């Protein structure tokens, strides 16, 4: 499974890249706004850090022709940009046109398996089901991912599933068990994947015993 990081924060992206486990980045207008930086400059900086891994940058138009123009502009900034397109009829139309031009589209704001089917039919490179937001309204986000995995498998679609709106490490585990291609993980959840109290206790014990041995050998 590939790990993307769901942030526009450069320090977080650099840290994840430094760990050697980062395959790509997803951003959205909210994540960029949180950083209070110029959109174009930040996306180019991110693209430099993670190249050749894909970096999703989202259009803000809602009409197909405008989305297509915006997507072409975004794609001109760096080779590894995937254009994020909202899952609305004009978005699906734009995805079809952009995919035929060879521009990778990440269809976002997906909340049902039927929506994911539309994105795959339109030639999307990625589909982003938002599991956390589904869970927030009392639905089962992961069951939507399970259905998408099944449907894409039934018809051998090439569209990769990005499990998005991840809230905690269990979402990452469930995504991996279901065979989703990618999890896009916020930095705090990514950090939590490392943690286990028995790892800390075990390491402390090993280091203490090693020190004890050195002391015994020095005293002998």
Question: Catalytic residues, which ones?
Answer: 84
Candidate list 2, 96, 121, 133; residue touching ligand E4P; CB under 6 A: 133
- How is 185-206 classified by DSSP, letter by letter? E-HHHHHHHH--HHHHHHHHHH
Candidate list 26, 95, 115, 189; residue touching ligand E4P; CB under 6 A: 26
Candidate list 111, 126, 130, 157; residue touching ligand E4P; CB under 6 A: 130
Contact region with ligand E4P (CB under 6 A), list: 129-137, 146-154, 192-200, 207-215? 129-137
Taking the complex as a whole, the smallest distance from the CB of residue 218 to ligand E4P amounts, in Å, to: 54
Could you give the string, one character per residue 138-177, with x where binding to ligand E4P holds by CB under 6 A and - elsewhere?
Answer: --------------------------xx------------
Phi, psi of 55 (to 5 degrees): -125, 120
Taking the complex as a whole, the smallest distance from the CB of residue 111 to ligand E4P amounts, in Å, to: 11
Alpha helices in 103-196 (DSSP H): 113-121, 131-136, 141-155, 169-178, 187-194
Instruction: Establish if 184 lies at the interface with ligand E4P (CB under 6 A).
Output: yes
Helices 89-100 and 113-121 cross at an angle (nearest 10°) of 30
Q: Quick count: other Cβ atoms within 10 Å of Cβ 77?
A: 16
How far apart are alpha carbons 207 and 85 in whole angstroms?
51
Contact region with ligand E4P (CB under 6 A), list: 34-42, 117-125, 126-134, 140-148? 126-134
Q: Over the range 116-126, which residues count as b (16 or more CB within 10 Å of their CB) and which as e?
A: bbbbbebbbbb
In terms of phi and psi (left: phi > 0; alpha: psi -120 to 50; beta: otherwise), the region of 4 is: beta
Residues that bind ligand E4P (CB under 6 A): 6, 26, 28, 108, 128, 130, 132-133, 164-165, 184
């Amino acid at each position: 499974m590939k790990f993307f990081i769901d942030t526009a924060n450069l320090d977080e992206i650099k840290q994840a890249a430094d760990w050697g486990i980062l395959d790509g980045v997803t951003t959205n207008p909210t994540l960029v706004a949180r950083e209070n930086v110029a959109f174009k400059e930040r996306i180019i900086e991110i693209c430099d850090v993670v190249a050749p891994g894909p970096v999703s940058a989202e259009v803000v138009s809602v009409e197909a022709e405008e989305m297509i123009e915006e997507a072409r502009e975004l794609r001109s900034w760096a080779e590894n940009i995937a254009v994020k397109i909202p899952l609305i009829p004009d978005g699906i139309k734009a995805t079809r046109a952009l995919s035929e031009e060879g521009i990778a589209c990440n269809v976002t704001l997906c909340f049902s398996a039927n929506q994911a089917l539309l994105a795959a039919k339109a030639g999307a490179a990625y589909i982003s089901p938002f599991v956390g937001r589904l869970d927030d309204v009392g639905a089962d986000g992961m069951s939507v991912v399970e259905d998408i995995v099944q449907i894409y498998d039934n018809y051998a679609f090439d569209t990769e599933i990005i499990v998005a709106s991840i809230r905690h490490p269990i979402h990452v585990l469930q995504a991996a068990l279901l065979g989703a291609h990618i999890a896009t993980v916020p930095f705090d959840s990514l950090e939590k994947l490392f943690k286990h109290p028995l790892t800390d206790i075990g390491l402390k014990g090993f280091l203490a015993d090693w020190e004890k041995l050195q002391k015994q050998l020095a005293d002998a």
